[in-house]
Amino acid sequence: MIEEIIPADIEREYASLFEIDAHLDRLVKRIELLSHVNPLNIEKEKQRFFASKYTYDPIFRYPKLKFDPYKLHRLFFSQRLELITDERVRKLYRDTIYFYSNMVECIETIGEGEPFYFNSLQVYGTPTERDVQNAKFILHFADEPNSEDMEKRFDRHEAKIYFQDFVAQYDFPLNIKFSSHIAAEAMVSNITKTLLIKKNVQFSKNELQTLANHEIGVHLVTTFNGLLQPLKIFSNGFPKNEETQEGLAVFSEYMSGALTLKRLKELAYRVLASDSLIKGYSFADTFDLIHNQYKLDRHEAFTITLRAHRGGGFTKDRLYLSGLRKIYKRYRQQKSMDILLTGKVALEHEKDIEHLFQLGLAKKITHRNLAYAQNLNSNQTLDFILNNLK
């Protein structure tokens, strides 16, 4: 209830805003892109691809839509934004509606090749030349020797116990489910507030620490902080929030001491895979680039290629490295991260969030990222790299 979060006089003053915000909340709950873009037959197509000696073009199947895209578009644009009296807030909601609408177009065209790819560009953009140069800079560094913490010896059930122990530090519940239909080893579903763990995957101790600080320490922290805000836009997502969210999440890995050069290289490979899309690379071409030219293990190369090519060309992965660069720069400037943890928000909208605070339409965060309290990174190579990204 709104009245439990903000004073009644503010609720009355911004009644139209809260009504529009509530309408959008009901619509957005149906369009979580990641739940639609992850193929249903990853393992089957992976086996076919490997059996073909890396020449077969995988044919992925995707979940069926559970909404009418045209009707959803119409409902988004039926919102009477002119009733929002504050000009800055009105523009924020207008931009947000365009952002959600672009997301619907993405979901509507999943599996259609170029139409999906161009819609993906609308939402996530494509790697810049600077992004590509940063990725290549990272890949110049020699691999570090594997430690005992890098050995994959924990199954999904042991991973579940690890995450349950980890979340005990935080004052929010953790719902965990196993899934065979996700591209990552683990991911958060914002809508269901669930941590999904991939079936039939072995984890190393470092991977568990990485995933916990990334998925729980940031993605779930911002989910639950967003739900405690007066406006639902905080939990549903500001326009183009992914770069900031993923930057915060990888920075959480760094501060906890979990980030490795191997992980940083993974983010660099993702940039190159995303960049290969604009060059017209096929699935096999991107795999060849990552596996044969850069000599990455074929299973890891397949995952990176899959993440880039799913749906018809998905460029979200390019944002992890650029997001980390921006958040690390902010850290070096000794700026607080608290305002960026208020929900699914974006650095570009920091002034808008401050404005909402001034209007009494936002509140301080309840949940903090515990890793941000102390820098536990001891890897000087990582510091050198992060300090020298362009």
Q: Say if CB 2 and CB 230 are below 8 A apart.
A: yes
What integer is the mean pLDDT of 373-390?
96
For the ranges 120-134, 184-198, 248-262, 371-385, the lowest mean pLDDT is seen at 184-198
Exposed, middle or buried by CB within 10 Å (0-12, 13-18, 19+), for 245? Answer: buried
What integer is the mean pLDDT of 269-298?
96
The pLDDT score that the predictor gives to residue 168 is 92
- The β-bridge relationship of strands 175-179 and 194-198 is parallel
pLDDT at 2 over 80: no
| Tokens representing residue 33 in the block | 């892109």
Structure confidence by residue, pLDDT tens digits, 71-98: 999 999 999 999 999 999 999 999 999 9
CA 247 to chain centre: 9
The pLDDT score that the predictor gives to residue 70 is 93
Contacts of 6 (CB under 8 A, 6+ apart): 230, 360, 361, 363
What integer is the mean pLDDT of 367-381?
96
The pLDDT score that the predictor gives to residue 371 is 97
The pLDDT score that the predictor gives to residue 1 is 34
As a whole number, the mean pLDDT across the chain is 93
What integer is the mean pLDDT of 322-337?
97
| Domain range annotation of the chain | 2-388
Label residue 5 by pLDDT band (50, 70, 90). Answer: low
Percent of the chain predicted with pLDDT > 70:
99
What integer is the mean pLDDT of 318-347?
97
The pLDDT score that the predictor gives to residue 383 is 97
pLDDT at 6 over 80: no
- Give 115-123 contacts, CB < 8 A, sequence gap 24+: 115/312, 116/311, 116/312, 116/313, 116/314, 117/277, 117/311, 117/312, 117/313, 117/314, 117/315, 120/311, 120/312, 120/313, 120/314, 120/315, 120/316, 121/315, 123/33, 123/99, 123/240, 123/316
The pLDDT score that the predictor gives to residue 161 is 94
Label residue 4 by pLDDT band (50, 70, 90). Answer: very low
pLDDT at 3 over 50: no
Q: Which conformational region is residue 257 in: left (phi greater than 0), alpha (psi within -120 to 50 degrees), or beta?
A: left
Spatial distance between the Cα atoms of 197 and 42, rounded to a whole number of angstroms = 15
